[in-house]
Amino acid sequence: MKQNNWPLKQALEEFRNLKQMPLHMPGHKQGRSLQAEWLHILGQAAIFDYTEIPATDDLAQPIGPIKKSQELLAQLYGADQSFYLINGTSGGIMASMLAHLKAGDEVLLSRNSHRSISQGVILSGATPVYISPEFDEKHLLPLPLSTQAIEAKLQEHQNIRLCVLTSPCYYGLIGDLIEQVELLHKYDIPVLIDEAHGAHLNFSKNLGIGGLEAGADLVAQSPHKILSSFTQSSWLHIQGPRVDKERLKASLRMMQSTSASYILLLSLEAAMAQMYTDGPEKLNTMLDNVKRLRQNLVNNSFSLLNLNELNSNLVKAHDISKVYINTLEFGLKGYEAAELLRAKGIEPELSDYAGVLLMFTLADDRAFIEQVETKLLQFASEQKKKPRSQKTEPLSWADLQPEIILNPREAWFAGKEKVSFDQTENRIAGETITIYPPGVPIVLPGELISKEILTYLKQIKAQGGNIVCDDPTLNTLTICTTN
Ligand SMILES: Cc1ncc(COP(=O)(O)O)c(C=O)c1O
């Protein structure tokens, strides 16, 4: 599909050429009030940092270039309609949940969903019906949900109004989306796919199926993660009759700023333009190069997360651009390996107990990938020389399974107190405690804090994991005062 007309870029350039005297926001007026040392950094971006005036349209109610640009996006992905998002995929997920849920409704989701999904539960007042994922024993990673587990919950719960599935997961695993969407639609339940890590799936035959192709109703993607848009910019696609479009538009207005950043919008259009032109070719070349890298690493004693080895019928595809190295095989926890890699000039996307995740994108050409390979092979040869004295004790999030005492929204609004960490066993959590990345909540408001959870948090902290909560030192936790 050839497309060379980028409506937002054109509108902003035309408006710029008019040289109107700006008597409107933003206050810096195309960078004029910025101090020199900042203008040096922000200059080009400042020129196109416009606001919603007639010539530039308005994301909250688009009728001009933003509308046209979004239409091109929908056409690119084969959606009925697409929306640019300026509060990340998080904003799109929360808006989609607000649009389809109300207090008293049930929402079906995986317990290891991203925190934006639990925030959507709190905002909507819905009751979560959690499915706990099975874990891969070797890499200690959650697997995609099984269709049987979804069906069991559908039979048990009659009030489910939305199902939220995550695909691919952070590590690139994709489950049986077609079967699962079909099943949920038999119950007339709309399906929202958190496809934050899958904006590129549409453009290669070698990656696995995306949510839209599987028939999902709402699909939120973070092109800033793997395509070329700027951080915080995302998009949301919808299709089919189950989406409440009017409520969705109102919810998007609620979850996003009234002053949408034109820098972010323009970067979304740029990312889309790339995928209309040379993006797919770049993507497929990168995938070929990563394939070669993976093979060379495996030939040199690396253990990688890989579809053939997983031996689970829950996984239907794996996005190979996510290279997860199991560092336990080198006698190192992922957090420790990440430090060693940083010292070599490699900054991983994520580290966890069992390994590190390296992420490749359209930006990475063959030379770059070969440089990474050289450094990884050096790392491996150095590690081999070390005695493997460390005994690694598997520590699994899967064993925690907190008991839900209060609905997340009830807990959010309950009275709170800060309690010394060691005094919180058997108290009800008043906050979300997440390890980031990947951003999966360990405890949600309203859940009982068990001894195992406290031990787990202490261990993660000691290993160098990044815990996001009210008091990241873990001296205190926020507790509901209702018990
Ligand atoms: C699985 C998953 N879902 C949703 C999000 C939120 O995406 P965004 O950062 O675009 O808000 C993330 C971000 O890390 C994620 O990993």
Structure tokens at 68: 């046209």
Can you give the residue ranges of every domain in the chain? Answer: 7-276, 279-385, 400-480
Nearest Cα residue to 191 out of 122, 237, 140: 237
Structure tokens, 61: 């109610």
DSSP annotation of 187 reads T
Cα distance between residue 305 and residue 214, in whole Å: 24
Q: Residue 405: pLDDT above 90?
A: yes
Which residue CA neighbors atom 9 of ligand 1 most closely?
Answer: 88
Per-position DSSP letters for 31-62, written without gaps between them = TTTS-HHHHHHHHHHHHT-----TTT--TTS-
Topology annotation, domain 7-276:
Aspartate Aminotransferase; domain 2 (3.40.640)
- Mean pLDDT of the chain, nearest integer: 93
Greater model confidence, 135 or 64 = 64
pLDDT at 460 over 90: no
What is the spatial distance between Cα 98 and Cα 228, in angstroms, rounded to a whole number?
28
pLDDT, position 59: 98
Give the count of alpha carbons within 13 A of 75, CB side only.
12
Asked if residue 445 has a cis previous peptide bond (ω within 30° of 0), the answer is no
pLDDT digits (tens, 9 = 90+) for 427-448: 999 999 988 767 678 899 999 9
Could you tell me the distance, in angstroms and rounded to a whole number, from the CA of residue 363 to the centre of ligand 1? 20
What pLDDT score does 469 carry? 93
What backbone phi and psi angles, to 5 degrees, belong to 11? -65, -45
Q: Which atom of ligand 1 is nearest to the CA of 232?
A: 10
222 Cα to the center of ligand 1, angstroms = 7
Q: CA-CA distance, 196 to 94, in Å (whole number)?
A: 13
Residues whose beta carbon lies within 6 Å of some atom of ligand 1: 88-90, 114, 116, 166, 170, 194, 196-197, 222, 234, 438-439
The residue type of 210 is G
Instruction: Supply the pLDDT for residue 401.
Output: 81
CA of 128 to the centre of ligand 1 (A): 19
Q: What is the CATH number of domain 279-385?
A: 3.90.1150.10
Most ligand 1 atoms within 8 A of CB, residue of 222, 227, 255, 352 to mutate: 222
Pocket test for ligand 1, best of 113, 114, 117, 252 (most atoms within 8 A of CB): 114
CB 402, CB 440: distance < 8 Å:
no
Cβ burial, residue 277 (10 Å; 0-12/13-18/19+)? middle
**pLDDT range class, residue 482, cuts 50, 70, 90:** low
* Average pLDDT, integer, range 3-11: 89
pLDDT over 70, % of the chain = 95
Mutate to test the pocket of ligand 1, among 89, 112, 221, 440 (most ligand atoms within 8 A of CB): 89
Q: Which of 222, 221, 219, 210 is nearest to 240 (CA)?
A: 219
Domains 7-276 and 279-385 share a fold: no
Distance 92 CA to ligand 1 centre (A): 10
DSSP string, 318-344: E-TTEEEEEGGGGT--HHHHHHHHHHT
Q: Which amino acid is at 360?
A: F
Residue written as token pair 């048990």:
156
The answer to which of 81-95, 187-201, 358-372, 423-437 has the lowest mean pLDDT is: 423-437
Report the run of H or E that residue 163 belongs to, with start and end: strand 160-166
Give residue 114 CA to ligand 1 midpoint distance, Å. Answer: 7
* CATH classification (class only), 400-480: alpha beta
One-letter amino acid at 435 equals: I
Q: Across residues 168-191, what is the average pLDDT?
A: 97
Has residue 25 got a pLDDT over 70? yes
- In this predicted structure, what is the pLDDT of residue 462? 85
| Amino acid identity, position 411 | A
Q: Which atom of ligand 1 lies closest to the CA of 91?
A: 11
Average pLDDT of the residues in 133-155: 91
Distance (angstroms) between ligand 1 centre and the Cα of 369 equals 25
Cα end-to-end distance, the chain, whole Å: 60
Q: To test the ligand 1 pocket, which listed residue (116, 192, 357, 440) has its Cβ within 8 A of the most ligand atoms?
A: 116
Atom of ligand 1 nearest to the CA of 224: 10
Q: 375 in helix, strand or coil?
A: helix
Rounded to whole angstroms, the Cα distance separating 320 from 371 reads 18
Q: How many residues does the chain have?
A: 483
Q: Ligand 1 centroid vs 173 CA: distance in angstroms? A: 15
Band of residue 242 on the pLDDT scale cut at 50, 70, 90: very high
Residue 4 CB burial class (10 angstroms; 0-12, 13-18, ≥19): exposed
**Distance from the CA of 220 to the center of ligand 1, in angstroms?**
9
| Ligand 1 centroid – CA 197 distance (Å) | 8
Report the range of poorest mean pLDDT among 181-195, 400-414, 453-467.
Answer: 453-467
- Residue closest via CA to ligand 1's atom 13 equals 196
Ligand 1: which of 85, 87, 90 to mutate, judged by most atoms within 8 Å of the beta carbon? 90
How much distance in Å is there from the Cα of 428 to the middle of ligand 1? Answer: 27
- Considering the entire predicted model, what is its pTM? 0.94
Give CA–CA dist 95/116, Å, rounded. Answer: 10
Hey, what are 185's tokens?
């639609």
In Å, how far from its chain's centre is CA 80? Answer: 23
How do strand 317-318 and strand 173-174 relate by DSSP bridges? antiparallel
Q: For residue 386, give Cα distances in angstroms to 136, 337, 342, 368, 379.
A: 27, 13, 18, 28, 11
Rounded distance from Cα 37 to ligand 1 centre (Å): 33
CA of 264 to the centre of ligand 1 (A): 16
CA distance linking residue 408 with residue 430, whole number of Å: 9
pLDDT band at 395 (very low <50, low <70, confident <90, very high): low
Q: Write down the pLDDT at residue 269.
A: 98
Residue nearest to atom 7 of ligand 1 (CA): 89
Ligand 1 atom nearest residue 113's Cα: 1
Q: Is the pLDDT of residue 394 over 80?
A: no
